Amino acid sequence: MSNVVAFARALADETRWRIVRLVMDEALCVCELADILEMPQSTVSSHVQVIRKAGLLESEKQEKWTYFRIARPQLRLLRSIASAFGDGSPAADVEKMTRRLAEREDSCCPAPKKLKRPRRTNATP
């Protein structure tokens, strides 16, 4: 029962849902998420930990940064939930993510290696 509760809790907040949608196809670190969401890193980090504890994220450590992306076993379910509710990423989030990723090479964040390849499908990010 606690897994179901943790899963529901992870998705029961608008900010956490925005994070989930952003990291479905692209691995992002907390500082990138904070820039995209225009929130303090500490706030974003707290939200990421709730999602992580629910078992929804895979991660990769690069130097002092940790990159997060939705874990493959949960990807299909989360895509189905997003599709069922017609709940895509806010256009502003997608635009900010595209801009932030274009700046990645010149930013403080090294790119992930293991999670580097974005998972793109016909589903909208």
Is residue 112 in a domain?
no
Is residue 110 in a domain?
no
Number of domains making up the chain: 1
Is residue 116 in a domain?
no
pLDDT tens-digit readout, 42-73: 999 999 999 999 999 999 998 889 999 999 99
Is residue 72 in a domain?
yes
User: By mean pLDDT, which of 11-25, 88-102, 111-125 is the weakest?
Assistant: 111-125
Model confidence, pTM = 0.85
| The dihedral sign for the CA sequence 74, 76, 77, 83 | positive
- Please choose, from the candidates 51, 87, 49, 83, the residue with its C-alpha nearest in 3D space to the C-alpha of residue 70: 51
Res. 86: pLDDT tops 90: no
Q: Which domain holds residue 70?
A: 2-103
Is residue 122 in a domain?
no
Domain CATH number, residue 50: 1.10.10.10
Most distant CA pair in the chain: distance in Å?
Answer: 45
Is residue 59 in a domain?
yes
Is residue 82 in a domain?
yes
